[in-house]
Each structure stands twice: as structure tokens, then as C-alpha cells.
């Protein structure tokens, strides 16, 4: 999915979860203050992801079971990639972060 930094949806697949306003705010705050989501976890559509090492201010990564999420911040948008087996976190990172 691609969201504007204001949280507006620019494009998303049919399987992408419906994000809640507070989830978007938490993601935006973590880009401003890296580590903000680490104690509570990253939530997308009510599903909790454990925050794993990303790149402060640029990339947030989360794990949930065998899958996870990569969120890349660009100058105008937030790019989301959610993956599950057989895709790996490394493969998702390559696609989202390009």
C-alpha cells in the first residue's frame, strides 16, 4: 500500500488491512522519534507486529510469526509491504526500500 504522510490512501491491494487513525499516528511518530513503537508494538488493522531493527527516520520493520512488514518513508508518502511465507523479510525489504 502507499499512503500519503497525512494518512490518506493513495493505493492499496484488496488484502491490505484497514488502518486506524491511531495506528497511522503511531507510525508517523516513530519516524519522528525512532523507537517510539518498540515498547508497545506496531499495529496494522488491529494486528500486532513486534518492531525489529529498522533505519531511524527512514524504515520501520515489524515481525509477526513467519511474516512481517516493512514501512519506508519517502518525501511524500509511506510505502507498506506486508509479507508471509514463503517470502522473507529480506526480500520484502528489497522491494519496498527501492
Q: What is the span of the domain harbouring residue 17?
A: 2-97
Mean pLDDT of the chain: 94
> Is pLDDT of 98 > 90?
no
Domain count along the chain: 1
Give me the pLDDT at residue 26, please.
96
Question: What's the predicted TM-score (pTM) here?
Answer: 0.92
pLDDT tens track for 30-71:
999 999 999 999 999 999 999 998 898 999 999 999 999 999
Give me the pLDDT at residue 97, please.
86
Gap between the Cα atoms of 81 and 97, Å rounded: 9
| CATH number of the domain where residue 69 is located | 3.30.450.30
Distances (CA, A) of 31 to 58, 64, 89: 7, 20, 20
Confidence band, pLDDT 50/70/90 cuts, at residue 84: very high
Amino acid at each position: 500500500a502507499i499512503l500519503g504522510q497525512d494518512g490518506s490512501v493513495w493505493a492499496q491491494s484488496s488484502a491490505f488491512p484497514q488502518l486506524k487513525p491511531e495506528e497511522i499516528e503511531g507510525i508517523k511518530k516513530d519516524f519522528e522519534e525512532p523507537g517510539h513503537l518498540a515498547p508497545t508494538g506496531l499495529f496494522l488493522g488491529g494486528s500486532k507486529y513486534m518492531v525489529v531493527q529498522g533505519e531511524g527516520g527512514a524504515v520501520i520493520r515489524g515481525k509477526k510469526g513467519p511474516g512481517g512488514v516493512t514501512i519506508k518513508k519517502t518525501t511524500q508518502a509511506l510505502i507498506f509491504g506486508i509479507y508471509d511465507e514463503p517470502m522473507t523479510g529480506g526480500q520484502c525489504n528489497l522491494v519496498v526500500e527501492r
